[in-house]
Amino acid sequence: MDSSFHFYVSNSFPCCVRGYHRKVSHTIRPPRPPLRAFRPAIAVAASIAVILITICPIATFAASGATAAPPRISTPAKFPRAPTSGFAPDGQTLFAPIVYLAPPGPARASRAIAILNRQLDFQRKISFHPKLAPALQEVVDLLPPRQSTMIRAAALYSKPAIPWRDEPDGTHQICVTGRPSDDDYLYTLSPDWRSPEEPARFSGVFGLKPSADSTPANISSVTGTLAGELMIDTYGIGALVDACADALREVHGDLRPPWDSSPGAFNHHDRAALDKFHRQMPHLAAKFDHYFKFNNLLDEFNSPAGPIVLLNVDAEVRQDALRKYPLLYDFYRKVVPAVTATSVILDSHGNFWMREAFDHGHIRVTVMIRGGLLTPFNAAMQPAGGSIALNEIARGSYRTLASAQVTSLAMNFGLANVEFATDYRRDLGSVTFVNRMDAVPQLIAPPGVHQVMDLIAGDFLRALATGNGGMNSNLTSRRLPNGIYDFSGGVTAQLNYSPTLELLARIGDAIATKHNDRVRAEERAFGEELFDAFVADYNDARPAIIALDLDKDKQQEKSK
């Protein structure tokens, strides 16, 4: 089972989710598929505000959703706001943003430490030490590897060996629960869906429902849903957005001339940022030095409105450093040089809010920050509109556009125009991302081969993008009256049966199955290695974090 499964949880499967109070139908996209294989490296390279490492996939959603387009932003009246003006002082601890994980009030930094301590303990178990109970392991063994589940979903529906739970409307379900178990997070097979009632508990469901034109003898298409719910006693997405807003203020070098004249030059701005990183987070910085080579980190420009920081990462994985993870090493050594992938977040004017790319081994991430606020930029990497305080956004919309291709024998194969539209909404107690695929992805292939590939995969892609309103997904967090946070969300899509694609998937499965468990073990070990370094730096920084309370008390005394 994919260790990130528990974060994609949903109320979009009403026949299963009885404990969730449905007010509005919400959706959010899953992580962009073309960049799935490279996201761990991209996330690491982009983590100047390293607090995001502790919140993994949720951070991706929170940070992405907050980059909404200016024409559709409104500001709520009351929820707490992080500082929004100016960059953070150079001497301030890089861990200062965690203060916003706790509600406002006395001893906020100390309370934030207690909250994050609980989250880190939970995060280690659920992210790096998943464990399957024997009955669930038997079911997982009957399912195809995760990379071909969607392709083979219609065929799976009629597989009698899988212990499906049958619903009156013909839906076949597998229900799962999760809970901490010593140092692990244990997933077990459940006879039905039950909404979790305690912190750190999870409930999930995988369901397949035949389409209206299917017959018992011919299941040609199904609606697939991956859904669930997670309870935690730490913080919700709103607090993460506030922490992200404050973390942007810490992304800078020295903010001094000589200013950069064009993007991409490694100079004193980059060295100042890296020096600060090494001083304040030496354990994690050492891991970065070991695994990555930075050709550029950021650029700093002067403007009438003040300094502009272009977080402009160009990093390469040091392949020899991955030798301790043989399968990851083999992947980067053999596959990566042939792969290119891009993903951008755009507003309604076509301006960029974030650009990500994996270009033949180069990891690239670009974000613009002006006065500590996220800022749109154009293709020439120049400011293209007003800056935004992430924590002040009540609602907004944005688009993501992704592509990926592999070069083999001087020919390019892949997908382009993988496009999603996302709506973001926040109020005093909840945050919701609503996402939908609203265009059919385009196949990349040489002439002649392209026609064959379109015959093989065209109907599947068209159904994925347009069937039942198109692929949709969601993520919501809401604060319950007892102070516990409920995370829910999921992914739903129409999945057509394609015999040719299934044959290709079976061939791929035969190769992948030999390495799946080992690959996942290496992925988790690599992630936990970085996580351990972050925790070591966090523990060392606790006195500086607590001092933020003392500084606030002194400021209040002066104001009196």
Cα–Cα distance, 312 to 297 (Å, whole number): 5
Cα–Cα distance, 176 to 185 (Å, whole number): 13
Longest dimension (CA), the chain: 79
What size, in residues, is the chain?
Answer: 560
- Angle, alpha carbons 165-168-172 (nearest 5°): 35
469 to 402, 409, 492, 497: CA distances (angstroms):
20, 38, 10, 18
Nearest to 502 by CA among 220, 107, 115: 220
Question: DSSP string of 81-97?
Answer: ----SSPPPTTS-TTGG
Q: Which residues sit opposite 413 in a β-bridge?
A: 406
- Angle, alpha carbons 395-396-402 (nearest 5°): 140
C-beta of residue 190 within 8 angstroms of C-beta of residue 210? no
For residue 375, the model assigns a pLDDT of: 96
For residue 237, the model assigns a pLDDT of: 96
For residue 308, the model assigns a pLDDT of: 96
Phi, psi of 433 (to 5 degrees): -115, 130
Each residue's pLDDT tens digit, 297-346: 999 999 988 899 999 999 999 999 999 999 889 888 887 888 899 999 99
For residue 39, the model assigns a pLDDT of: 35
For residue 52, the model assigns a pLDDT of: 29
Each residue's pLDDT tens digit, 80-108: 444 445 899 988 999 999 999 999 999 99
Cα–Cα distance, 468 to 259 (Å, whole number): 52
Where the chain has pLDDT below 70, the residues are 1-85, 146-147, 409, 502-516, 551-560
Tokens of 488: 């829910």
Nearest to 492 by CA among 15, 49, 167, 83: 15
Cα–Cα distance, 491 to 471 (Å, whole number): 7
Which domain does 119 fall in, by range?
5-559
For residue 458, the model assigns a pLDDT of: 73
For residue 3, the model assigns a pLDDT of: 29
Task: Provide the CA 554 distance to its chain's centre, in angstroms.
Answer: 38
CA torsion 157→159→161→162, rounded to 10°?
-20
45 to 7, 186, 241, 308, 358: CA distances (angstroms):
22, 31, 20, 20, 12
Domain count, the chain: 1
Q: Which residues sit opposite 342 in a β-bridge?
A: 357, 403
Cα–Cα distance, 169 to 556 (Å, whole number): 62
Tokens of 137: 């392991």
C-beta of residue 160 within 8 angstroms of C-beta of residue 234? no
Nearest to 315 by CA among 263, 249, 359, 254: 359
Nearest to 520 by CA among 146, 214, 148: 146
**What sign does the CA torsion over 378, 382, 384, 389 have?**
positive
- Angle, alpha carbons 132-28-95 (nearest 5°): 75
